[in-house]
Structure 1
Amino acid sequence: MGVFRMPSLGADMEAGTLTEWLVKPGDTVRRGDIVAVVETQKGAIEIEVFEEGRVHSLTAEVGQQLPVGAALAVILAEGEAQPAGAAEGPRPEAAPKPPAPAPEPPRALASVEVPPVEVPPIRTPRVEVPRPGGIVASPAARKRAAERGVDLAAVAGSGPGGAIVLADVDRPGSAPPRTEAPRAPFDEMRKAIAAAMTRSKQTIPHFYVSETIDLQPAIDWLARHNADAPPAERLLVGALFVRAAVVSAARVPTTNGQFSDGLFHPADGVNAGVAIALRGGGLVAPALIGADGLSLAETMAGMRDLVSRARAGRLRGSEMTSGTITISSLGDGGAEAMVGVIFPPQVALVGIGSPRTRPWVVDGEAVPRTVVSVSLSVDHRVCDGRQASAFLDAFRTFIAQPESL
């Protein structure tokens, strides 16, 4: 019997909200099937299962916010018997324990006649606690107003001197509740980005290498390729950047992998994280899985698919966690150069500025050429300057010979 649990979908994810089940008890699932959708700070992400078998029960309900590692479902392997006492659906809550019996009252002592004593009543002067702005309310009224979200400034007090008492707050229609603007998803995404980048800069010893390279051969090759190609088959320079980074990472293994538990885990293949700016603001970097096995045309198609699903909020969990190197490009009209922050637990990030026309020396003569600034941010625990330079050398070579990609 396997327990399907809430996965970690980012370096700093602590919990997620289950928004949709795509399976039900009795369904058969295979490794890689999409079984649920979880809302995180970076949007809705489709969750894959990594076991094969039959869904026995769903132990979490839609709308629940669950910490990473919490049980979501029980999956039985093929031929595995239903566990004894197991029930379909969410696990029932434990029945409340019966109240403990009341202790026996102590035996009465022998009665002793006590003459009555007259005690004068104690009069406690009322103390009114002013709120900021001159609002006078009892402590109980202030507490209830905070619970109900009621603005005390709009409540008419019936207590002494117009003070607001508990009954005033509880009176139906006494005041409209305070309205607070809902927290925008963009705000949550900025929090997630801030947490991940803070962790990166605090724990990863970055160093950087950069180079300005001649982009003109690639621009000319793209123009020739796209001239006769139908729109669906045309390539963008961004696909060349991703493909060049992928083959360069395959040549320099210390730039391709993940660092966790104090060790570097080099990757067998290249899962290229592609930084995508979302229309509502924020940034995600899902991985183009198995990018080292894709052609240039397949890389372009994969990038289009990632961008479309990222902006529709339909990325998959594995795409958010399996990246081995990330490529972030500013595109046309951006800054001339960019040096990025590594996405943990990865160990390298390629930053690409906006192409510019600059004087460039070709065959001993200064001519106008399209050039681009490329940087590599690297984890110094894993990689050194010579290896980082080898990555940029390979990147420059492939951009100069785009037909080899």
Structure 2
Amino acid sequence: MAEFTMPSLGADMDEGTLLEWLVGPGDLVHKGDPVAVVETAKSTIEVECFETGTMTKLLVEPGATVPVGTPLALIGPAKERRPARHAPKKGKPSKPAEPSEPAEVPEPPERPSPQPEPVPVPVSPPSAARLPDHIEAGPLVRHLAEQSGVDLEALHGSGPGGRVTRIDVEHAAAARAHTKSPRSRVTPLARRLAAELGVDLATVRGTGRQSAVRASDVRQAAPGPSAPALPAHTAAAPVRPSPVRPSAARPSEDRTTAMRQAIAGLMSRANRDIPHYYLSTTVDLAAATDWLHEHNRRTPVGERLVPAALLLKAAALAAREVPELNGFWTDDHFTGGEGVHLGVAVSLRGGGLVAPALHDADAMMLPRLMAALKDLVTRARTGRLRGSEVSDATITVTNLGDQGVETVFGVIYPPQVALVGFGRVVDQPCAVDGLLGVRPVVTATLSADHRATNGAVGARYLTAVTRLLQNPEQL
């Protein structure tokens, strides 16, 4: 029996609030499956399971705040979901409704002798399947039926021997949904949150099982922190009852305060404990800009690239070339990262900052990296990040060019050992081959941990970034 514990989702996390379970007792879970939604001081995160097995017991109720490492649930070994496909051995009784092969069903000698009255073979499997104690359905199907409000006794199973399958339950639940209000499948936390935020559940599209509305769906449908500043004609529209807005504003303010406190504590520790050194260089982007224009000219609008994609890919490939900057400083020594997982700094609505990871960014083709970046930023701002995305980054990139900043020197996110900064692409006069001209350039900076590397290593990294950006066909 293994314990599923509250994970550490960043160096600044000491505790988390369990908002919602995505699975229940008896559910089969696999390594990497999201099983719970946890709220930290900075974001709402879907936490993945650490191993494969059966969720046997939930130890913490939604709404509870517990320290990192606290057991949240117990996971047992994976259970067999279907009966073995072989005929029962002679002398061993078997369940009447559990024959695995249709050809073996009508054999009277195989039926258990204790039965007082033999039943005709064509009738026995269906009648046995109707008995409450002999409903042929696995634990997962029973749990799904209980969640969906489906009566297993009323179903005629489509599986072998009349066994009720997951598809049977899903079809019955879908048919039942047509006769009930769409608000019938709402988690308790989502219903309470909707009341606090003034969200009409009838307008929310559920993303849970059987289209159930979850807490994350309600948050996404709720008005953002800037809602009170909307134009007068929008604010005056009778969409939400006005008394709800003040009560919804307070949790937002508390969340922002908690987030700033968490960031302040982590950055104070980083500045105190990490001996930073800083380097910068100016990169000529003329070749990259020409290549980008030509690529976008031949590409559909939805697949075009932005300069940030080239900058991120160059940063990832350079980290692969200079692995001394791609990893962690823990227990007074450097440990290299298993792959280049590029943390991307994302500013959140209402303030705050997270840096989720683009896994294996060095191996992504540019179009895929661009799509992954869009998806990551969207989910970061709507509270749909995964636990691995907020804890696996091996090196972080911050790009403030869209804010008009030309140079940025960041603070390293521990236990990482480096942070790369990119500013705004600007046109500057440059001397090239003895001739003066105007060319697009960007300032690339590096903040690095002097315990793990020195200036020579950092210079190699920035040189690699420059070379890659001046040869965009290598990206």
State the TM bucket, normalised to the shorter chain. 0.7 to 0.9
Q: 1:194 aligns with which of 264, 278, 285?
A: 264
Which residue number corresponds to residue 223 of structure 1? Answer: 293
Deviations 1:24-79 (A, max 9, x none): 00000111000000011112011011111000000010000111011100000236
The C-alpha deviation readout for 1:216-265, integer Å capped at 9, x for no partner, is 21111111111121122101111111100000000101100011122211
1:192 Cα deviation from its structure 2 partner: 1.5
Kindly report which structure 2 residues correspond to 1:1-400, keeping only aligned pairs within 5 A, or say none: 1-78=1-78, 181-182=250-251, 183-400=253-470
Cα distance between partner residues in 2 of 1:272 and 1:222: 22
TM-score (norm 2): 0.63
Moved more, 185-194 or 299-308: 185-194
Name stretches of at least 5 consecutive residues in structure 1 with no aligned partner. Answer: 81-178
Aligned-pair distance for 1:292? 2.1
> Equivalents in 2 of 1:186, 1:364: separation in Å?
53
In structure 1, C-alpha distance between the alignment counterparts of 2:394 and 2:250, rounded to whole Å: 38
- Would you say the 8 A contact 1:360–1:367 is kept in 2? yes
2:66 is paired with a residue whose SS is strand
Distance in 1 (alpha carbons) for counterparts of 2:381 and 2:359: 18
Between Structure 1 and Structure 2, the one with more strand by share is: 1
For structure 2, the 5+ residue unaligned runs are: 81-246
Partner of 2:62, secondary structure, is coil
Please tell me whether the aligned partners of residues 12 and 263 of structure 2 are also in contact (alpha carbons under 8 angstroms): no
Q: Is the 8 A contact 2:333 2:452 kept in 1?
A: no
Kept after mapping to 1: 8 A contact 2:54/2:79 = no
Deviation at 1:185, TM superposition (A): 2.0
Identity of counterpart residues, as a percentage?
50
Give 4+ residue runs of structure 1 displaced > 6 Å after superposition.
none
Asked whether the 8 Å contact 1:332–1:355 carries over to 2, the reply is no
1:208 & 1:369 partners in 2: Cα distance? 25
Matches of 1:181 and 1:382 in 2, distance apart? Answer: 43
Q: In structure 2, give the amino acid aligned to 1:10.
A: G
Structure ranking higher in helix proportion:
2
* 8 A contact 1:43–1:185 mirrored in 2: no
1:73 counterpart letter in structure 2: A
Partners of 1:315 and 1:250 in 2: how far apart?
25
Cα-to-partner distance string for 1:57-109 (whole Å, 9 max, x where unaligned) = 000100001110111000002369xxxxxxxxxxxxxxxxxxxxxxxxxxxxx
Partners of 1:191 and 1:272 in 2: how far apart? Answer: 25
Counterpart of 2:258, as a letter, is E
Larger Rg computed on CA atoms: 1
When residues 333 and 358 of structure 1 are mapped into structure 2, their CA distance, relative to the original with a 3 A threshold, is farther
Per-residue CA deviations over 1:284-335 (Å, capped at 9, x if unaligned) read 1000012122111111111111001001111111111110000100123421
Aligned residue identity for 2:44: A
Q: Distance in 2 between matches of 1:333 and 1:306?
A: 19
Which residue type is aligned with residue 67 of structure 1? P
The code of the aligned residue for 1:25 comes to P
Q: Counterparts of 1:38 and 1:201 in 2: how far apart (Å)?
A: 28
